[in-house]
Amino acid sequence: MNEQAAYLSDTISTIKAGAGVLLPELLLAFFFLLLVTLDLFKSRSIKQLLPWLALTGLFAALLIQVYGGYSSGKESFLDMLLSDGLARYAGVLFSAAGIFTVLLSLQNKALENLRQGRGEYYALILMLVLGLNLMAKSVNLLMVFLAIETVSIASYILTLTLKEEKRAVEAGLKYVLYGTLSAGVMLYGMSFFYGLTGSLHYTSEGFALALLRADTLLVTVAAILVFAGFFFKISAVPFHFWAPDVYQGAPMPVVALFSTGPKMAGIVVILRFVAPFTDALAFRDVQLFLGIAALATLAVGNFTALWQQTPRRLMAYSSVSHAGFLLTGLLAFGTDYTSSILFYLTVLLFMNFGIFLFLQIAEDAFKVEKLADFSGLGRLYPYLGVLALLYLLSLTGLPPLAGFVGKLLIFSNVWEAYTLTQNSLLLALLVTGILLTGVALFYYIKIPFYLFFKGNQTDEKLVISLSDKLLLGLFALALLVLFFKPDLLLTWIEQLLTQTL
């Protein structure tokens, strides 16, 4: 009896000691419950207050993660969650993505006219950001699974926000089916790892040592199965089929969030997950699998985008191609590739939210559904046209925009890794990535071509809100600043990464 009491006392003390690790998540959970509770009231003034409460919670989480101090950087919570520099920077990106999503939602006409579920919508954004934070902090396979499912459940419901539309229902159904399949396969792979190592703490030394003693083939099979869930989150081949339909059916702010948040969290999880394999005998097999997946993702994303005639589906396959570039960067073992990947993810955040805001304005104000509907709008609204051109050039990876710096850093790391290892797979990825950047220019340039080189379809002059113009300018300014002064961000990233265990 005394032993059980002592064990319980020690466990409670351990939970209290590590509770600081969860401060941003506890804050988001509080605002989530607050939004759900206030949404029960029918008062119109309370309903109008809900998005601003969501913004308050996300800003508070952002400030806590920027300034730190809520954990020492060396603490973990029950060996399941770790609050290091990597998780902290990822949390900053997630909070920023949530804030941008709410701001875009306030400008979206379809969401403005939403009669039911308005409070739930903003609460689910907070839940999704909470799940993303848990993904980035997870160092336990079971915790990773629970965090991914938290994000997935919130994503499924957000996809169905406009449930009156048939395409939203179809997209939500496909999303659930693909998500369920990938989650089941991933969980099966995790069970293999537990059987092989006797541990779920995949960043521990014991886990890595157990992998060294385990059968190479079984380790490789287990890793491939687990990657099914990770690939689903980052929309990498062959778990990318959900992306075009979801991008087509979900509200534009939700699409912008899906194109950034889950992708960033999935990449952070993969960063942690591949670390134990660098010394294992199965490392070459896992590296080969990731290399083939990166090549396939790059090829499918870029070449399929060439044939798209709707902006949403074009951006869906663009998102797939960016997943390929990120997987390419993850294979630059032996180099300082983590800071380059985090820089690329930051740039991707501003690029995607900028272009999706432009598409939202085009849909709401000009009823744009196909690429041809952009005809002449760039000459009629030069401010919108020029900023759209900047975002698309940055997505391609051309100067003088931060997308160029992001791709240059990743390509440099891959080349450095190739010179160290002489691995022909890395050279193939480097050459393919450079060539497909040229292919990307062909489909990204379609929108500016219609904007500036096709005749006007209407002479009607509409007024674009000042808030939309300011947001577009803010995202574009960030891309210009990060091109001319990338060291401002890279220095901060490297300082935070020194806290990583």
CA distance 185 to 323: 20
Residue 241 in domain: no
Q: Is residue 441 part of a domain?
A: yes
Q: For the chain, how many structural domains are there in total?
A: 1
Give the integer Cα–Cα distance in Å for 374 and 385.
10
Q: What are phi and psi of 111, to 5 degrees?
A: -75, -30
Closest by CA to 252, choosing from 174, 170, 102, 356, is 356
Say how far apart CA 186 and CA 183 lie, in whole Å.
5
Q: Which of 57, 167, 62, 39 is nearest to 114 (CA)?
A: 39
In a domain, 478, yes or no: yes
Side-chain half-sphere exposure of 13, counting CA atoms within 13 A: 6
The answer to whether residue 22 sits within a structural domain is: no
Is residue 99 within 8 A of residue 28, CB to CB? The reply is no
Residue 490 in any domain: the answer is yes
pLDDT at position 347, please?
Answer: 96
Give the pLDDT score at 501. Answer: 44
Element of type H or E holding 460 = none
As a whole number of angstroms, the distance between CA 2 and CA 6 comes to 6
d(CA 342, CA 492): 11
Range of the domain at 362: 297-501
Residues of the chain falling short of pLDDT 50: 501
pLDDT value, residue 17? 58
Spacing of C-alpha 256 from chain mean position: 10
C-alpha angle 224-229-235 in degrees, rounded to nearest 5: 105
Residue 302 lies in a domain: yes
Nearest Cα residue to 387 out of 256, 453, 479, 482: 479
Q: Is residue 59 part of a domain?
A: no
CA dihedral 318, 323, 326, 328 (to 10 degrees): -100
Q: What is the pLDDT of residue 281?
A: 60
Four-point Cα dihedral 465, 114, 157, 57, nearest 10:
60
pLDDT value of position 465: 86
In a domain, residue 78? The reply is no
> Distance between CA 482 and CA 459 in Å, rounded?
37
**CA 18, CA 80: separation in Å to the nearest integer?**
10
Tell whether the torsion through CA atoms of 103, 407, 148 and 311 is positive or negative.
Answer: positive
Enclosing H/E stretch for 239: none
